[in-house]
Amino acid sequence: MISQPFRFPRAVHVGTASVLMLALASAPAAASDPPPEPVAAWSFDAGSGDVVVDETGGGHDGVVEGGTWGPGRIGGGLHIDGYDDGVLVEDESADLGMDATMSIEARINLTDQGTVQKIVERAGNYGLRISADGRIGFRWEDQWRFSQLLDWEEGRWYHVAVTYDGDEVTFYRDGAARGTATTTRTATVEPGTVYLGRGIPDWERTLYGTLDEVALYDEALTADQVRAHYDAAPAETDQAPQMGAVRMSADQVEALTMVELTADIDASVANPDDPNLIDVQAQVRRPGGEVVTVPGFLYQDFRLDGERVVESGAPAWTARYTPPEPGTYQVRMHVTTDGGAAASPWQDLSVTPAADDARGFVTVNPDNPRYFQFERTAETFFPMGVNLDIPVLTRLGNHHAEPDSRYHGLFGDDITSPAEGASPENLYAVYDEYRRAIVSLAEAGGNAVRLRLDSWWLPLEIDSDHPIPGYPDGVPGFDVGRYHAANAWIADQVVELAEQHGLYVTPVTWNQHSPWGGSAYATPGGENEQLTDRRLRYQVARWSYSTHMYGWSFFNETRLDMTTPFYTEAIEDLRATDPNPHLVFNSYTPIDQEVEHAYRCDDDEDELKDCWGEGVFLDKAEFAPGNDMPLVLEEYGKKWYFRYPVDDDPNGYKAHEGLWASIMGHRSGALYWWQYTHLGPLDLYDEVYGAAAAFLSDVELGDYQWEAAELTQTSGPGGLQYFGMTHAGPTAGDRPNGTDGPRALLWVVRTPSDEYVDRAAVDGNEFTLAGTVPGSYRVEWIDTWTGEHVDTQTVRSTDGDVPIEVPDGVTRDIAAQVYGPLGEMSMEIVAPTQEYLAGQTTRVEVTFTNTNAMPGAEAVELMLEAPEGWDVATVPQAEESTDSPLLMPGEGVQAAFDVTAPDTGYAGDLHLTAAAEYRHQGHERRQHATMEVRYAGDLPPEEAFGSVQPPLETFASTDARFGQRGNTFLVAASGGRIWESVNEFGAIYLDEAAGPSTSVTTTVAYQQNTHEAARAGLMLRNDISGEESPTGYVLVAATAGRGYVMNVDIDGDGGMDRSYRTGTTTYPARLMLERDGDQVTGYYAEGDGLWQQIATVEIVGAAEEQDVGLFVTANNAEATSRADFIDSRIE
């Protein structure tokens, strides 16, 4: 059961609590009024378990059907969650039925007001409640009567009572009459159920607060008796808090790693989220003696219970801190209330150096403030990702949405109670959507998410004074200044998932569009200033520890003047409260970054600049001097409104286009909006983020002062748009990261930008990149949708204009990195022979020459790399190749290496690779050259192989032998053939390992020629043996003399009856089968070459999971053909 955590934690001390009967018996009463005897009374002092005892001894014990035990007004109490908690008292004997007179009394402490609060109810008989407008209500039969209008304070205990003398109803609060009413209904008593803390099930209404000391009487109490019962409770006084045990998550951590402190604190406050009432903090003494304060918060843990999010354990005061540097720290917890203060003893915390891959917090690049960077490593951080647009309270998230929008789909449209939006099942659904989005984004290469903690999405608080669509009585569990424990826990999971998957989070605090949960913070004023500071302090306490929080965001989409004292002081307080250097944002008012929200592409446009709007992405003004802070595209998409069916953009073109436009338009990051309704359902993460992440992986954007590239088409049919940026060199200070990065980044887009179908390709286009220096340049083209390398061009500029050819076949868009001017060094590998026998040693000479007219190379180091198993020994030189510290133009350096081939191995074409590492013009560079060699090899003897190991199995329908040596496999089999009714082969296979989406590859390193049609390769079949299910049968193989073949059983009779053949077999021969449902495609490749398709076929009768194996047939019943397989994989 989800329960809002008990909001008013205090210790219950022995001797200060008394059960209800003791309180009633000891209450003073008038001499003429003997103490009344309740027919049932429940003190709620058990403190645990699922039974509430009837203290009268009458046996009317109640069953707890949800709630959180904690302190009450007298002894213990039960906190009811406003959703479905409560206590059921079965009354089959009708002892608790009332037909003439009665009284009800209870003590309540409201967590929330503004909704109907049920205290006691017996169906068709009587009830006690607080109405939504604050009146005490009494039900007699089917008629409700109400008191005068009353104000209620949340977090305060009240004694509520009602008496009925058969004619008049009198209402009491805190011992004083609060109005009267009359009722003439005649009661009918039947067996039934008494509900405590909730109403009858059909109405789905419960108390939202803590219940204590409930009693039922079959007579009307007098005013003096009601007053005496109220006075029986001891006075509430401010007591000094008591500090108990303090636990650290670890006493030794690495720098930039969180340590968590939890404290047992005994204190009595009305609202633990208000630091003016209880201020809990960790005090940290750093190695230099400086003391830092870290705000604490009351943490309620939750856990996953199947597909539900449920409470786990009791609330605990918690503080989270991340030490920035190694050394010995001291930490302690401190608490202050109106009653006094308390502190724990200092504890030592040992902090070791940060991990090598720890990047630190995100900050702004001081040398190039257009970009973010990581504080510790100075790497550029270019946030690209999504807004987590996942609604918790469905009506808040979808009130703009059309019925076909997925915003209606998370919980469905059958929610009848507002609190259902935060039910255990729906909270799990929200958590799971967050998890899916984060994992999918990270796997595709994205790195940032924007987490909306405002009232529309994952609210921590909602202003109950304002009406909300679908919630006229307010939202149970929410109010301004009180933070929703379950939603905060989900936000914890988002931050932890981001840390695990390398993503960075910026939380949005308020949404100015909404009149609820934002208005209290949009209007300066004394109370509002406190509410603002408290909310920001809570977020700092909860999440400032994380290096993966890259900035705090105030409002979403507001143009409030953030320079007024109200906001400047709030920003200053936020920075002072945060122990770490997080950035501060606001949309749209700049603080530490500027932002854009762009939804400008409702229709397809011929010109990309027109589509995105003037000055949004690709305007050259964005490259002008004076851009002194990051500019992030914080939200964007084709359309702004929630009516966004997925078929509006099935390929994700606008998400893709906006990201690339941001990269090339000198932006600092881009976060797409429609994750939940677009990217997620269509699984478009790879298409949007994969190639962009790869493109920027080696580019330190912050190392360069970028300018708009001058790009001019010089020839070809046109139909393309050209965008890009270039730079003249590293930023001041020659930062250490990417000093050998690209000189220009280019993006070429096929027009018009129609996302429904690819455009027809235009070939033969050329253009120039102006503003460079003469020299040679290398242009690396990639496909912006797949990330695959498309083309490498080496071109020369003689006049400062670099001529570039657009690769043919562009139907969407393509991008390039331009490197240069190149060092123009040459390398040469010389050997007396390119034929190697087993164990043969040959001397290889490598020469490296500076053929560049520009300044020379220095610190040249030559090396030679050979295939695995080969030995390379450097030949010592008598003297250096050059006496100069620089390898000047025309000079060269030489090195010799003795290369020894292995004693055994498989024959084939291999490569020796020479590499030179050197420094040129202040940059570290590497250059290489390759030489192809032929290795004759000496076949490993069969004795070198062991037996085949599980889970692998073997099968033979003819004479066969099998062996395994690591990932090398031997199959030697005879057999006439594999065709029609004959299936004679030997195989090593995995049982049911090939699912509907499977790729399996192998390399035939050796094949014995027993017949030109002898085959060795890969086989898919429901059952390799053919005994249980011979269908779903297909193979791809290298033949000894007929090239590469693919055979398939097209009629499902268990015999091969169709063949496809291509090429000439060379070794090593690489083979692949790709299964996509009932379709299978066969491929081959020679050496390191590209995959070549043989055929795509339908396989008949394929099982969901098929056997897959390596097979051999000699195609000769009188001989045995051996084949050796290496590099076998299944994915």
Query: What DSSP letter does each residue of 172-232 carry, written as one string?
Result: EETTEEEEEEE--PPP---SEEEEESB--GGG--B-EEEEEEEEEESSPPPHHHHHHHHHT
pTM: 0.60
Interatomic CA distance for residues 929 and 827, integer angstroms: 6
| pLDDT band with cut points at 50, 70 and 90 for residue 250 | very high
Render pLDDT for 609-623 as a digit per residue (tens, 0 to 9). Answer: 444 433 344 554 455
More confident residue, 901 or 1088: 901
More confident residue, 1031 or 47: 1031
| Whether pLDDT at 126 is above 80 | yes
Packing angle between helix 526-543 and helix 485-501, nearest 10 degrees? 40
Tokens of 1036: 């791809």
For residue 686, the model assigns a pLDDT of 92
Q: How many residues does the chain have?
A: 1131
Q: Is the distance from CB of 583 to CB of 544 less than 8 angstroms?
A: no
- What is the set of domains in the chain, with CATH numbers? 20-231 (2.60.120.200), 242-355 (2.60.40.10), 393-594 (3.20.20.80), 703-822 (2.60.40), 825-935 (2.60.40.10), 942-1130 (2.60.120.200)
For residue 350, the tally of other CB atoms under 10 A from its CB is 13
SS (H, E, C) 366-427: CCCCCCEEECCCCCEECCEEEECCCCCCHHHHHCCCCCCCHHHCCCCCCCCCHHHHHCHHHH
For residue 447, the model assigns a pLDDT of 96
- Among the residue ranges 45-54, 547-556, 737-746, the one predicted with the least confidence is 737-746
For residue 597, the model assigns a pLDDT of 83
Query: What DSSP letter does each residue of 830-846 carry, written as one string?
Result: E-S-SEE-TT-EEEEEE
Interatomic CA distance for residues 521 and 884, integer angstroms: 70
Mean per-residue pLDDT, 281-287: 96
Q: Is the distance from CB of 972 to CB of 942 less than 8 angstroms?
A: yes
* 1128 sits in which H/E element: strand 1121-1130
For residue 523, the model assigns a pLDDT of 55
| pLDDT band with cut points at 50, 70 and 90 for residue 12 | very low
Mean per-residue pLDDT, 235-256: 87
Closest CA to 335 of 295, 302, 364, 307: 295
For residue 851, the model assigns a pLDDT of 67
For residue 25, the model assigns a pLDDT of 37
For residue 393, the model assigns a pLDDT of 58
> What is the four-CA torsion angle of 1009, 1012, 1014, 1017, rounded to 10 degrees?
100
Render pLDDT for 306-331 as a digit per residue (tens, 0 to 9). Answer: 989 999 988 999 999 999 999 999 99
What is the distance, to the nearest Å, from the Cα of residue 1068 to the centroid of all Cα atoms in its chain? 43
With a pLDDT cut of 70, the percent of the chain lying above it is 84
Render pLDDT for 750-771 as a digit per residue (tens, 0 to 9). Answer: 876 545 456 788 899 999 999 8
Render pLDDT for 188-200 as a digit per residue (tens, 0 to 9). Answer: 888 999 999 998 8
Mean per-residue pLDDT, 563-572: 85
Average pLDDT score, the chain: 83
DSSP code at position 676:
I
| Whether pLDDT at 105 is above 90 | yes
Taking CA atoms, 912 is separated from 96, 724, 922, in Å, by 94, 38, 29
Omega before 736 within 30 of 0, i.e. cis: no
* 281 sits in which H/E element: strand 278-285
Render pLDDT for 384-443 as a digit per residue (tens, 0 to 9). Answer: 999 998 776 544 444 444 444 444 444 444 444 444 556 788 888 889 999 999 999 999
Tokens 């077999």 belong to residue: 1065
For residue 882, the model assigns a pLDDT of 44
Interatomic CA distance for residues 498 and 989, integer angstroms: 40
Pairing of strands 871-875, 923-935: unpaired
Closest CA to 1083 of 1100, 1071, 1075: 1071
| Whether pLDDT at 639 is above 90 | no
More confident residue, 199 or 736: 199
Burial code of 951-978, b = ≥16 C-beta within 10 A, e = fewer? ebbbbbbbebbbbbeeebbbbbbbbbbb
Interatomic CA distance for residues 837 and 951, integer angstroms: 36
| Whether pLDDT at 914 is above 60 | yes
| pLDDT band with cut points at 50, 70 and 90 for residue 1088 | confident
- Among the residue ranges 41-55, 70-84, 399-413, 505-519, the one predicted with the least confidence is 399-413
| Whether pLDDT at 298 is above 50 | yes
Render pLDDT for 130-173 as a digit per residue (tens, 0 to 9). Answer: 998 899 999 998 889 999 989 888 878 999 999 999 999 999 99
Closest CA to 379 of 686, 737, 135: 737
| pLDDT band with cut points at 50, 70 and 90 for residue 823 | low
Taking CA atoms, 373 is separated from 379, 397, 500, 605, in Å, by 5, 34, 20, 35
Render pLDDT for 344-398 as a digit per residue (tens, 0 to 9). Answer: 999 999 999 999 999 999 999 999 999 999 999 999 999 999 999 877 654 444 4
